[in-house]
Amino acid sequence: MNYKEEIIHFIDQVIAQSHYERMDQGYLFNQILGLVGEEHVDDIAKASDDQLISLKDDLVELAVQNQRIDNNQGARDILGARLMNFITPPPSEVNRTFWQFSEDQGTEAATDYFYRLCQENDYIKTKAIAKNIIFSSPTEYGDLEITINLSKPEKDPKQIALAKKMPSSGYPLCQLCMENEGYFGRVNHPARSNHRIIRLNLANEEWGFQYSPYAYFNEHCIFLDCAHEPMVINRNTFIRLLTIIDRFPHYFVGSNADLPIVGGSILSHEHYQGGRHDFPMAKAPIETPVSFKHFEEIQAGIVKWPMSVIRLTGADKEKLIELSAIILDKWRHYSDESVGVRAETNGESHHTITPIARRRGQLYELDLVLRDNQTSESYPLGIFHPHPDVQHIKKENIGLIEVMGLAILPPRLKPELKEVVAYVLGRKNQMMDYHRDWADQIKQRHPELNADNAEQIVNQEVGKVFGRVLEDAGVYKRDEKGQAAFLHFLQSI
């Protein structure tokens, strides 16, 4: 196809999906021509389909061939976002439409509109997300969810080297700042031309609501403070979380912890994550009911889960906030040497909470996950962190999403697990040595292994390792001593 025809084909789709009209065709042609160039290419391959995103990908390739952009993923993303910005309304219009939907048809209709827009304009990387490997694995805690993350492209060595040479501009301050909306991007900061943020008032504070470009679950979204302030878990956290699920009752919302090791990857900017997904932890039952004096109307208990989770359920939002704040304050200062729980060492605080909120009809439900970021000579990465014998599967921090039972595993596991399958079947393989002990255990546990079931068995064993990962991250262990100590903490409140 001639490149001019390809551009016109793209413009036809833009006009069909935006407020541009047929009169704008010449204007759009010149704008796009200026981005992708016309110098060296007479013919290009036709898009595999007529979808706008596929046509955009073709035009990005044209720009590479025309040497209008460097041949690296960062440059491709920047141009791709600029092209998709043609169908993306300005922030004022997106916000006006969102809140009009919310008023006329309800919040669910508003999020449906915004989510669809972010998919259609390729801010949410639907094609890339589809590459992820997803399966579930039955365990004593229910079916844990496993994702091998293949969606986010890895930077090539040239791009990494270039990024190191670039001085930090200090703008935007981080990837969660409001200033990202419409930002072109650079080699060390992602493209955001087609990015839009919904503004909302949250407990008399200005906050933003956006979707995650590389979503890990359905309608994976982020609520972010408009001010660039560090993450902190306190009473205001519980107020905001319950306010959010009042506004978005079809979503859960939770916060990463606010300490290194047990916290998320971005601790410098206050934010929460949410979405429309029922995680394994949310399905887990209360194993040990408890009650709190002066809060008898709140149902409470220890959840049957590998980590240490307190569940609070009730209709009175203010009572839930008050009790949650009391539990947090008690945990911040609580130690129990009999099980290695220490609130601080050498003046460094170790305790915090990962909170998750959801609606159950007319009731509010809050899960408070106790976290401890101690390290030791034996466990320099964290005492309550995946231990060395499971790090062949998962060695990264255990954040909010994994706490709830969805493993985000590194892309290296896609080829590595294929080699494990070959090994357990006795076939020629190039399995990494760090999988050997685990693979030998799989062979011993599963004499029924054969070519038809080996992959499924290995996947199930990955899920069991993830269960162990969560047990390692649990402050109070699942044995009799650990659960007695957990109950003793709750009785001290």
Please give the pLDDT value at position 41: 54
Please give the pLDDT value at position 49: 65
Q: Note whether 231 and 240 are within 8 A (CB).
A: no
Q: Of all helices (H) and strands (E), which one includes residue 165?
A: helix 157-165
Rounded CA-CA distance 299/405 in Å is: 23
Assess whether pLDDT exceeds 70 at residue 378: yes
pLDDT band at 187 (very low <50, low <70, confident <90, very high): confident
Q: Of all helices (H) and strands (E), which one includes residue 358?
A: strand 351-360
Render pLDDT for 471-487 as a digit per residue (tens, 0 to 9): 999 999 999 999 999 99
Helix 436-445 × helix 413-424 angle, to 10°: 50
Q: Note whether 437 and 390 are within 8 A (CB).
A: no
Tell me the pTM: 0.93
Higher pLDDT, 351 or 155: 351
Chain mean pLDDT for the chain: 93
Instruction: Please list the alpha-helical segments (H only) found in 200-308.
Output: 235-247, 280-283
Please give the pLDDT value at position 240: 97
Name the nearest CA neighbour of 184 among 58, 52, 59, 35: 35
Domain boundaries, given as residue ranges, for the chain: 3-68, 91-122, 198-384+483-493, 407-473
Assess whether pLDDT exceeds 80 at residue 280: yes
pLDDT band at 1 (very low <50, low <70, confident <90, very high): low
Buried b (16+ CB within 10 A) or exposed e, 223-255: bbbbebeebebeeebbbbbbbbbebbebbbbbb
**What's the whole-number mean pLDDT along residues 398-422?**
97
Assess whether pLDDT exceeds 70 at residue 198: yes
pLDDT band at 265 (very low <50, low <70, confident <90, very high): confident
Name the nearest CA neighbour of 306 among 179, 464, 149: 464
pLDDT band at 185 (very low <50, low <70, confident <90, very high): very high
Render pLDDT for 321-347 as a digit per residue (tens, 0 to 9): 999 999 999 999 999 999 999 999 989
Sheet holding 205-211, edge to edge: 198-202, 205-211, 221-225, 271-275, 252-254, 351-360, 363-372, 309-314, 299-303, 286-290
Please give the pLDDT value at position 47: 52
**What's the whole-number mean pLDDT along residues 366-380?**
96
The β-bridge partners of 215 are none
The β-bridge partners of 358 are 365
Assess whether pLDDT exceeds 60 at residue 167: yes
Please give the pLDDT value at position 5: 82
Q: How many CB atoms lie within 10 A of CB 23?
A: 8
Among the residue ranges 46-60, 105-119, 228-242, the one predicted with the least confidence is: 46-60
Please give the pLDDT value at position 203: 85
Assess whether pLDDT exceeds 70 at residue 155: no
Assess whether pLDDT exceeds 80 at residue 101: yes
Assess whether pLDDT exceeds 70 at residue 354: yes
Assess whether pLDDT exceeds 80 at residue 444: yes
Assess whether pLDDT exceeds 80 at residue 152: no
Residue 193's φ and ψ, nearest 5 degrees, are: -60, -40
Please give the pLDDT value at position 164: 53
**What's the whole-number mean pLDDT along residues 110-121?**
98
